[in-house]
Copies of this chain bind each other. A is one copy, B any other.
Amino acid sequence: MEVFTKENLLQVHERIKPFIHETPILTSSLINEIADCSIHFKCENFQKMGAFKMRGATNAILQLNKENQQKGVVTHSSGNFAQALSLAAKSLGVSAYIVMPSNAPQVKKNAVKTYGGTIIECPPTLKDREETAQKIVEERGASFIHPSNDIDVILGQGTAALELLQKKPNLDYVITPVGGGGLIGGTALAVNLFTEETKTIGAEPFEVDDAYRSLISGKIETNKTINTIADGLKTQLGDKNFPIIQKHVEEIIRVSEDEIINALKLIWERMKIIVEPSSAVALAAILKEPVKFKNRQIGLIISGGNVDLKNIIF
């Protein structure tokens, strides 16, 4: 059965609606003036637990049958998806097991605990992470849910763009940051299904430009170093979302760390909202290409607002 249909994405939206916020779309006349275009910020920083990941996590759990829901869900993440799966599971009366490296920051562990997730620590390697998660699947019968490379997660993330397009149907572009590929994948699907002319653009730091390189080489590339302030974007694409990105994303624009910080300051200081550095990557991409975006109507998905304020030095 084809899952990438209008009807299916609308059903996903109906399914998760009771458990998520319909987030506001904000504009800033000053930023529009600076960027010489009209930007519509879809503010997932105001989403429950502070990021779009709440959408995909909720959809993935709701797509399990009752029996599997009772056995719980498991993921490996030390970022927003760990918190999203914990909170979504809690709202639905499901157990969530979160595999985290033993050296993960205490603040991240605390956030997961606050939302009711059970943390399983493991040594800080990818192999250990995967093995530990697999063990929980085998021992408890829990369902593994990948943070970004899962069709139900991708469709859930696409509902942010769906809401944006329902309110703003005549956009020239929708732009999102690119990390593991769940947000850009879901967004590209929604844009493709619900518009004729709108194009999806990705934005990525030069420092972790794996998706940019993957689109050129035609295979999933990795990052050798991950020295970026945009800590949500260090992960790599997967075999479920990469084909969607290849098919439906027009271009990935890369930006420098200075450009990210400049965009972050603009949003904090001018819009008075707190967004993650990852979200600022998308505004930085617009500012980087003034000719391309001049006078255009652009939807920008603010991915989230979970920032450890101690780490932000302007």
Interface residues of A (CB under 8 A from B): 24, 45-46, 50, 265, 268-269, 272-275, 305, 309-310, 312, 314
B274→A268 contact, CB < 8 A: yes
Besides A268-B274, A273-B274, 17 other A-B contacts (C-beta < 8 A):
A24-B24, A45-B272, A46-B272, A50-B272, A265-B309, A268-B309, A269-B274, A269-B309, A272-B273, A272-B274, A272-B275, A272-B305, A273-B273, A274-B274, A309-B312, A309-B314, A310-B314
Q: Which residues of B contact A268 (CB under 8 A)?
A: 274, 309
Q: Which residues of B contact A46 (CB under 8 A)?
A: 272
Q: Which residues of B contact A314 (CB under 8 A)?
A: 309-310
Report how far A269 CA is from B50 CA in the complex, Å: 9
Report how many copies the assembly holds: 2
A19 to chain B, nearest CB (A): 13
* Residue of A265, A274, A310 ringed by the most chain B CB atoms within 10 A: A274
Report how far A24 CA is from B25 CA in the complex, Å: 12
Name which residue of chain B comes closest to A276, CB basis.
Answer: B272
Report how far A273 CA is from B312 CA in the complex, Å: 15
Q: Which residues of B contact A312 (CB under 8 A)?
A: 309
Report how far A81 CA is from B24 CA in the complex, Å: 29
A212 to chain B, nearest CB (A): 29
Report how far A172 CA is from B69 CA in the complex, Å: 43
Q: Which residues of B contact A50 (CB under 8 A)?
A: 272
Q: Which residues of B contact A24 (CB under 8 A)?
A: 24
Name which residue of chain B comes closest to A24, CB basis.
Answer: B24
